[in-house]
Structure 1
Amino acid sequence: MRMKAAVLRSSPVARPYAQTRPMSIEQVHLDPPGRDEVLIKIAAAGVCHSDLSVINGDRLRQTPMVLGHEASGVVVEPGPGVTDLQVGDHVVMSFIPTCGHCLPCLDGRAQLCGPGAAANGAGTLLSGSLRLRCDDGTDTFHHCGVSGFAEYAVISRRSIVKITKDISLVDAALFGCAVMTGVGAVVNTCAVKPGESVAVVGLGGVGLSSILGAVASGAERVVAVDLSQAKLDLARSLGATDTFLATDPEAAEAVRAATGGGVDHALEMAGSAPAFELAYKITKRGGTTASAGLANPNARISLSPTNIVAEERIIKGSYQGGCVPPRDIPRFIGLYQSGKLPVDRLLSSTGPLEEINEAFDKLDRAEVVRHVITF
């Protein structure tokens, strides 16, 4: 079938994107689903920093590529071997396909699936196949097995989570990355307990999801740190108890003073080395510093090994929030529907695919938390 999609032809691309137009709106050929694959009509796709990092060159990927990894949609055609999804089912996509039989999958760490990581690195579906072609016949790569910036997508069954139909598909899209990563980092990676203290450095969609997760987990102190006063104000309205501007050269000292020596858990969600170092500085003795921010691979941090040992510090990475998507996405949606996780507050705006370059400019300038492309 032919469909409309946003194609990235090369990377890196200079800003402003409204002028350089990195995402080209084109007619793309989409092959039918193969075995254990599903044809999905995309309903909504979030514009995320992980997409932006491909455009600006922080994370180089194969091109041409249809970006978009945070998406929701409706099942159009289950492929051969898919018996547990029906036409019309509502679904959310996971940006890491999981094979279900490698050692990490068997250990309950689906986010570390080896075949899934290999497929994402190669720009293919889990099967190793490509289902996209540009109009000139050029093979076109998949982004994180999803490629949601398109009218339709063929996706591995292992990247799909069936959801209830009584949630807006626009809101549901946020659970595919921002909520899964941010809330998951709180409840899975850090296992925050009621009464503990949590700080979040970097208040994009993932960081603000972490604020929501910390509040829902019963954290007594929820500290928000960001460069933007507007985002700090939003964080406070979502339940943050303390807010600090990261531009303040004394920010770390101010957080430690306010929290009696630092927080139990500090989460870096900005994707930058200075943000991680700030998160580390505001973690108390014996506390945990976790990062879900994907900085440029060439970025480096400087930490004292003596300090790590003498203060029994814990440093953790958090990929996809340590989530098992079929378990955690429905659970988080349930919290949203009960009013305990007001994810809809993260939605800044929506717009058509034709305005995607302007949307990336807004994201780059930190003018939106989550802009969602709707179809």
Structure 2
Amino acid sequence: MDATITAAVLNTAPGPLRLEELRLDEPTDREVRVRVAAAGICHSDLHEIDGTFPTQTPIVLGHEAAGVVEAVGSAVTGFRPGDHVVSCLSVFCGECRYCTNGQLVLCTKRGDLSHRRPRPRLRNAAGQAVRPTAGIGAFATSMLVHENALVGVPADIPPATASILGCAVTTGLGAVLRTAAVRPGQDVVVLGAGGIGLAAVQGARLAGAARIIAVDIHAAKLDAARHCGATAGVDARHVDPVAAVRELTDGGADHVLEAVGTSRTVMQALEMLRPGGTATVIGMVPGGRPVEIQGTDFFLQEKRLQGSFMGSNQFKVDIPRYIELNRQGRLMLDELVTHTVTLETINEGVAILAAGEATRVVTVLDAA
């Protein structure tokens, strides 16, 4: 049977999230219904709320979540009621050419898994379909997702900590360890010391980077980056960050991870590289915002510019490994969550994130 849930719905963009009662359909086939315990607020959510990225409303946002399985579809074999899980938006089919090549984040059939079903997942009081973002829709008391959007986690991990594994941690660590494949002894710069940036700093530390330089405009975030393993911090409010990085690295870094998402910071990332270096763009640069680059950076200096979607992750493998690193004291997770809000105060959490001071804001619904 379907269920009545409470969700924070975006009905107009830009606009606030409004709490509504929705009808959540019952699981079919390979679907899993999860009681949401905590859901992180990501910058991609903020960009849909403020209209930076176009979106189709009404929609329930939220994609990095921790919760407990309530019910499963008839074809689900990997989960059962009572299991603790984390959601990740890089749901995969497991059959297309990218999945079989290990590039799960590039799955070409993700939309089929998330949206094609006999009935809408969510309906409002008027009977209108409400779209769950990325087939997840975590800003709700329960969500209905494909089993390939979930990974099991130990029950003793605090929900707020577990939730950020689904995006911020996986994206930042994966960008360093999977996409950029940083090697021991290399110099790494991370532009932006939010949740993803701090995860990237830790990834560089785990990879054995020699110098790890964090760049941000907030002193508190630079302090947090040093706590996570950065060897130096550059306050871009007061100095030219490109000149500062070049001085600290004797001419340029081997890798620059861009975790801000603006055309300007992508260009700065290229300028911070040594010849032969690689800039990896993690941040979501809005569509229609061109990035101007110098051709000589490529054919004379062999610099490389690449993107990283969700850290090129294989989250069903990666997240259990990150949990083990955390248990060993080698990966900080609790420290990345700086603010928590409730579903009723979620708009306050959005405002905190927009102000730029927070590392990660998490909506806590249930102590699980």
Provide closer, same or farther for how the CA distance between residues 128 and 97 of structure 1 changes in structure 2, counting only shifts above 3 A: farther
- Whole-angstrom distance in 2 between the partners of 1:58 and 1:247: 24
1:153 aligns with 2:155: no
What whole-Å deviation, never above 9, does each CA across 1:137-195 have from its counterpart, x for those lacking one? 11000111211000000100111111122322221101000000000000000111121
8 Å Cα contact 2:6-2:22 kept in structure 1: yes
Question: What secondary structure is seen at the aligned counterpart in 2 of 1:220?
Answer: coil
**Alpha-carbon separation, structure 2, partners of 1:127 and 1:264:** 46
Cα 1:193–1:294 change in 2 (3 A) is same
Q: Count matched residues.
A: 363
Shift of 1:39: 0.6
Indicate conservation of the 8 Å contact 2:92/2:105, yes or no: yes
1:59-110, CA deviations, whole angstroms, 9 ceiling, x for partnerless residues? 2111100010110111111111001211111111111210000111111000
Aligned to 1:255: 245
The one of 49, 53, 65 equivalent to 1:55 is: 49
Pairwise mapping of residues 1-375 of structure 1 onto structure 2 (< 5 A)? 1-13=3-15, 22-116=16-110, 118-119=111-112, 124-125=114-115, 127=117, 130-248=120-238, 250-375=240-365
- Relative distance call for 1:115 and 1:205 in structure 2 (3 A) is same
Q: Retained in 1: the 8 A contact 2:218–2:357?
A: no
Q: How far is 1:220 from its partner?
A: 1.1
CA contact (8 A) 1:202 1:275 kept: no
Question: In structure 2, what is the Cα distance between the partners aligned to 1:132 and 1:170?
Answer: 25
Once the 2 structures are TM-superposed, how far is the Cα of residue 248 of structure 1 from its aligned partner?
Answer: 3.8
Q: Secondary structure at the match of 2:134?
A: coil
Superimposed CA distance per residue, residues 226-268 of structure 1 (whole angstroms, 9 cap, x where no aligned partner): 1111111111121111111222452211110110111111000
Looking at structure 2, the residues matched to 114 and 311 of structure 1 have their Cα atoms a distance apart, in angstroms, of 34
Structure 1 residue runs without a partner (length 5+): 14-21
Per-residue deviation, 1:125: 3.6
Q: Distance in 2 between matches of 1:45 and 1:125?
A: 21
Structure 2 CA distance for aligned equivalents of residues 158 and 26 of structure 1: 27
Quote the Cα distance in structure 1 between the aligned partners of 2:333 and 2:7: 27
Partner letter of residue 101 of structure 1? E
Supply the distance in 2 between the matched residues of 1:175 and 1:250 (Cα, whole angstroms).
33
Give the TM-score, by structure 1 length: 0.94
* Conserved 8 A contact 1:252-1:281: yes
SS in 2 for 1:225: strand
Which region of structure 1 is more displaced relative to structure 2, 175-184 or 340-349? 340-349
Q: 1:128 Cα shift?
A: 8.0
Q: List runs of 5+ in structure 2 lacking aligned partners.
A: none
Distance 2:58 2:112 in 1: 16
For residue 181 of structure 1, give the secondary structure of its aligned residue in structure 2.
helix
Measure, in 1, the Cα distance between the counterparts of 2:351 and 2:159: 24
Amino acid at match of 1:254: A
**Contact 2:340–2:349 (CA under 8 A) maintained in structure 1:** no
Contact map agreement 2:104 2:314 (CA 8 A) in 1:
yes
Would you say the 8 A contact 2:69–2:83 is kept in 1? yes
Q: TM-score w.r.t. structure 2 length?
A: 0.96
Moved over 4 A (4+): 126-129
CA distance in 1, matches of 2:93, 2:164: 23
Q: Distance in 2 between matches of 1:274 and 1:231?
A: 20
In the TM superposition, residue 307 of structure 1 has moved relative to its aligned partner by: 1.8
Identity of aligned residues (%): 39
Query: Over the residues paired in the alignment, what is the CA RMSD in angstroms?
Result: 1.4
Quick check: 1:266–1:282 contact (8 Å CA) kept in 2? Answer: yes
Return closer, same or farther for 1:374/1:299 CA change in 2, 3 Å cut-off: same
What is the CA-CA distance between 1:308 and the residue it aligns to?
Answer: 1.0
